[in-house]
Every structure is written in C-alpha cells, then in structure tokens.
C-alpha cells in the first residue's frame, strides 16, 4: 500500500515527489514516456527563478536527480485507470497498485493541425521538439507554425541552425514575452508570415513543402521540416468518467488541487486554471503534496 501514487513525472509531479519524500511518505511515480515532461523539449528556459538561462532538459535532469537523491524512483508504466473504491487502485500496463491518495500530473500533449497526411509525416518532417530534432535541419529550410511564446522560442532556436526559418502565424500579430519578440525580430533568417495557415503537406515519404493560405491567395513553400507549436491538449481521457472536467477537458480542481473525489488531487498543466507556466506547475506540485500530507494525517 502506497501513501501516494503520482501519475506523471513532469515538473508538477517531480515537485510533489520531493515534498512527499522529505516527509518519508511511501510513494510511486509513474511516467509513460519522458521524465521531465514537455519542458525537456524546450531549448531554453529564461523565466525560471534561480537560473539566468537553462535548457529544459537540464532543468528536468536536476529535478530528477533531486528526487532520486531522496530515494525516489520513477517507473516507466502507462497509466490506464483509477478504481475509487474503499481502497484506491491505480491500474497501469504493468500492474495494479493500492494507494491512500493520488496526484494526477499527466500534463498535456501537443496539438496538431488535423489535416491530410499528418500522421504519415509525424516523425518524417513534422516535429514538436526543436531540441530533439533541430540538428537534423542544419543549413536547411524549416517552418514553425504558431504565434505564441513557444513558437517564437522555437523559431529563434532554429535560426541558429537552419538556413531559413518561416514563422507562420494565423493571426495578424505574434504574442509572447517582449524580450523574446525583440530577439525574434533581430534574426535576419526568420521570415514571419501573418494571417496564414497551413492547409496541406507536400511530399511522398517525408516533408518537401507545405501549402499556406491567407484571405487573398494560396501558395506553396518549399521546406525540409515543420515544427508545430499550436497549443496543447490535456491528458485526461483515462479519468474523464471519474473526475469533473471543464469545457476544455482540463481537470477541475480548487486552488488546493483537490478534485471532486477526496484523496485525488490534480497538479500542473492538466489542472483547469488561467496560467500554465513552469513555475505554476511546480507551485501546484507543492500545494498538492502538502494537501496530500494533510489528507493522510486526517485519515490516520
């Protein structure tokens, strides 16, 4: 019997683990793929306190080391289901585990354009992670789709590798931190295309180009790869019959991270809230863990 099972090993889940381990709680951390979550795909993090600038993967490694130094372990298992009976159970593809409490920190996954041939080109020219795949496009031409901070940072990073970067923005402006926008505008090999959207991928087995459309015309762009930065979708399909979700399918949880079921908490990007940043994820992890401790004390 575990005191708490944490589902997800991103910044929220790992922060929660640190607090629970420091209180000598018996925990299990489950992660289906990437320890550190989506932050590992960020080439540069400039707004996390204590670091002037750090890569997402390096920051994730530091969190991981902190957890393991406290005796924590992360099990690579895929979460399947929660049974909320007299004893809570978390079911994964590896087994069934009993626990007194649960923190859901499953985060989000990257959104896609949902146009023809997208599945075929995922991993064959379509990517989400500039750190992972940017080096493949050294001295080549790439496109970044999106108009927010992530798209801006991705374009800046790729401009140091690629010969040419197109930033394709659906709106008439870009949105992001001023310091990042200012840096973007200094990059001579970045061309911003406003009021446009990608309507078609070109190529046979890998991306050779894209078709973009605005209100006036349609044109083709020859590109060797495309990076999507068009938002996120909450990872809540496995709990949508158990927990209350908002209209966007994020888990409804109060500021104490408590869901509609006692002893089950939500933390990080998967929780319904206005701001989703690295710092708010670690904030949630802290609050969820402290409230798990209170919950366990009340149950004993």
Strands (E), the chain: 4-7, 27-31, 74-76, 79-84, 88-92, 96-99, 102-104, 108-110, 126-127, 141-145, 164-168, 190-193, 197-202, 209-213, 218-222, 225-228, 232-234, 264-266
Q: Residue 126 phi/psi, 5° resolution?
A: -105, 130
Between CA 29 and CA 4 the distance in angstroms is 9
Catalytic residue among 3, 4, 129, 257: 129
Measured over the CA atoms of residue 194, residue 199, residue 204 and residue 206, the dihedral's sign is positive
76, with CB counted inside 10 A (0-12, 13-18, 19+), is: middle
Catalytic-residue membership of 257: no
Question: CA distances (Å), 294 to each of 101, 103, 251, in order?
Answer: 11, 14, 21
- Across-strand partners of 83? 89
Catalytic residue among 133, 224, 269, 284: 133
Catalytic-residue membership of 129: yes
Catalytic-residue membership of 300: no
Instruction: Report the catalytic residues.
Output: 129, 132-133
């Amino acid at each position: 019997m575990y005191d708490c099972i944490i589902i997800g090993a991103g910044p929220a889940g790992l922060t929660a683990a640190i607090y629970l381990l420091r209180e000598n709680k018996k925990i299990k951390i489950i992660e289906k793929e990437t320890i550190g979550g989506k932050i590992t795909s960020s080439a540069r993090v400039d707004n996390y306190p204590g670091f002037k600038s750090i890569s997402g993967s390096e920051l994730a490694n530091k969190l991981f080391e902190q957890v393991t130094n406290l005796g924590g372990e992360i099990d690579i298992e895929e979460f399947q289901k929660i049974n909320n009976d007299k004893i809570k159970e978390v079911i994964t593809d590896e087994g069934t585990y009993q626990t007194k409490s649960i923190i859901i920190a499953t985060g989000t996954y990257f959104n896609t354009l949902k146009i023809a041939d997208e599945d075929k080109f995922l991993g064959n020219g379509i990517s989400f992670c500039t750190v992972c795949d940017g080096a493949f496009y050294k001295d080549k031409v790439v496109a970044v789709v999106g108009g927010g901070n992530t798209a801006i940072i991705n374009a800046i990073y790729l401009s140091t590798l690629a010969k040419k970067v197109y930033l394709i923005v659906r709106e008439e402006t870009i949105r992001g931190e001023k310091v990042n926008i200012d840096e973007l505008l200094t990059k001579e090999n970045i061309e911003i295309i406003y009021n446009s959207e990608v309507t078609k991928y070109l190529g046979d087995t890998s991306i050779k180009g894209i078709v973009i459309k605005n209100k006036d015309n349609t044109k083709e762009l020859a590109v060797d790869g495309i990076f999507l930065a068009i938002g996120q979708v909450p990872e809540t399909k496995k709990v949508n019959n158990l927990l209350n979700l908002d209209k966007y399918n994020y888990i409804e949880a109060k500021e104490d991270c408590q869901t509609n079921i006692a002893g089950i908490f939500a933390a990080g990007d998967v929780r319904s809230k206005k701001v989703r940043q690295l710092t708010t994820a670690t904030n949630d992890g802290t609050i969820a863990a402290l409230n798990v401790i209170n919950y366990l004390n009340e149950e004993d």
